[in-house]
């Protein structure tokens, strides 16, 4: 299982703070595409971390079981 954490406005869209998805040789790019289709993030921009490290969204990293992915949008309040 891969755990995905959501923050800020992204979590408002997903209506959950985290979820787990079955992992079968899925690349980060594919995972993000699947999430986009499922949640329609559209204009929401966010950075992506794998195991607490911000990574390129377009890299072809293959996710491993027990990886933790986080979607981090910028916040603007103050």
Site residues for other proteins per CB under 8 A: 7-9, 17, 43-45, 47, 49, 52-54, 70, 72-78
Q: Which residue has the tokens 């594919």?
A: 30
In the complex with other proteins, the residue whose CB is nearer, 22 or 76, is 76
Q: Which residues pair with 3 in a beta bridge?
A: 20, 68
What DSSP string describes 25-39?
A: S-BHHHHHHHHHHHH
Which is nearer to other proteins, 21 or 72 (by Cβ)? 72
Q: Which is nearer to other proteins, 31 or 50 (CB)?
A: 50
CB 24 within 8 A of CB 30: no
CB neighbours of residue 73 within 10 Å:
18
**Residue 25 beta carbon to other proteins: minimum distance, rounded to whole angstroms:** 25
Q: How far is the CB of 17 from other proteins (least distance, A)?
A: 8
| Nearest distance, CB of residue 55 and other proteins, angstroms | 9
């Amino acid at each position: 299982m891969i755990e995905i954490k959501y923050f800020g406005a992204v979590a408002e869209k997903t209506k959950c703070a985290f979820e787990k998805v079955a992992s079968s040789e899925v690349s980060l790019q594919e995972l993000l595409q699947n999430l986009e289709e499922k949640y329609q993030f559209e204009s929401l921009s966010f950075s992506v971390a794998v195991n607490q490290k911000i990574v390129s969204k377009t890299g072809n990293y293959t996710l491993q079981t027990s990886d933790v992915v986080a979607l981090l949008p910028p916040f603007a309040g103050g």
